[in-house]
């Protein structure tokens, strides 16, 4: 039997996309009757936004841990969070009896296995300008490029003003694809979608670069872990 997977939701839209991706990966990797049980729990998004904006990462960890505890009480043995910005706070949210899967590690493994040398990142400024992927890939010899400052500001506007609500304008989609085109021009040979809502506007079909969808990679990793012996 596959083990129970718990999703700690931060952005409602991102978490709903992650749930869909997880079940699609399960349909690909296991027989229909062996799909894992999946539970999802969220704390209000406003709590996360307030904590992040005040740089209170212990508060972020506390919110993550609350959800993890609820999921563990439901029987979850594997816990994931598809939100890229809070990945380095998951170490504050460990609970007995459940295993957290680290999205940055899984993404780095996939990028390295594919042989890429320079990759770009699409996401909020917190992700593109922080260490979410830069550290994990940098220590393994892969250069990570962030969008230019003006592009990062525009991405923040689109993510926080549109994507987290599950909507976007065609103009905004063109902006995001344009940022990827610019990353390609700067030498990137692939791009990481480091925003759980990014698949709303970027796909393998419209991206100028090969795409590594962090949430989909996490979903596949969770299913593979769930069907492995404990």
User: Which residues fall within 8 angstroms of residue 74, CB to CB, at 6 or more apart?
Assistant: 4, 6, 39, 41
Measured between alpha carbons, how far is 41 from 76 in angstroms, rounded to an integer?
11
Token pair for residue 114? 């594919």
Mean pLDDT score, 157-172? 95
Cβ neighbours of residue 142 closer than 8 Å, sequence gap 6 or more: 108, 111, 112, 116, 117, 118, 119
End-to-end alpha carbon distance in the chain:
10
Q: Which helix (H) or strand (E) holds 198?
A: none
Maximum C-alpha span of the chain:
49
- Tokens standing for residue 50: 């307030």
Asked: is 104-213 a CATH 3.40.50.1860 domain? The reply is yes
Give start and end residues of each alpha helix (H) in 30-94. Answer: 45-53, 57-73
- Average model confidence (pLDDT) across the chain: 94
Please give the structure tokens belonging to residue 72.
């563990």
* pTM of the full structure: 0.94
Indicate the pLDDT class of residue 30, thresholds 50, 70 and 90: confident
Which part of the chain has CATH 3.40.50.1860?
5-102+217-227, 104-213
pLDDT(228) > 90:
no
Give me the CATH topology for the region 5-102+217-227: Rossmann fold (3.40.50)
How crowded is residue 37: how many other Cβ atoms within 10 Å of its Cβ?
Answer: 15
Structure tokens at 186: 């700067």
């Amino acid at each position: 039997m596959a083990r129970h997977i718990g999703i700690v939701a931060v952005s409602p839209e991102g978490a709903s996309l992650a749930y869909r991706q997880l079940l699609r990966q399960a349909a690909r990797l296991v027989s229909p009757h062996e799909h894992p049980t999946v539970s999802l729990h969220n704390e209000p998004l406003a709590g996360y936004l307030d904590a992040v904006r005040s740089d209170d990462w212990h508060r972020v960890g506390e919110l993550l841990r609350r959800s993890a505890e609820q999921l563990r009480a439901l029987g979850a043995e594997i816990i994931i969070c598809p939100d890229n910005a809070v990945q380095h706070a998951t170490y504050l949210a460990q609970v007995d009896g459940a295993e957290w899967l680290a999205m940055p590690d899984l993404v780095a493994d996939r990028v390295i296995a594919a042989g890429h040398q320079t990759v770009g990142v699409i996401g909020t400024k917190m992700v593109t300008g922080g260490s979410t992927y830069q550290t994990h890939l940098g220590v393994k010899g892969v250069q990570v490029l962030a969008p230019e400052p003006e592009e990062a500001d525009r991405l923040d506007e689109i993510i926080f003003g549109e994507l987290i609500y599950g909507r976007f304008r065609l103009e905004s989609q063109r902006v995001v694809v344009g940022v990827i085109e610019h990353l390609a021009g700067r030498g990137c040979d692939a791009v990481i979608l480091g925003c759980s809502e990014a698949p709303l506007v970027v796909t393998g079909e419209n991206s100028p670069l090969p795409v590594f969808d962090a949430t989909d990679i996490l979903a596949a990793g969770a299913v593979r872990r769930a069907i492995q012996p404990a």
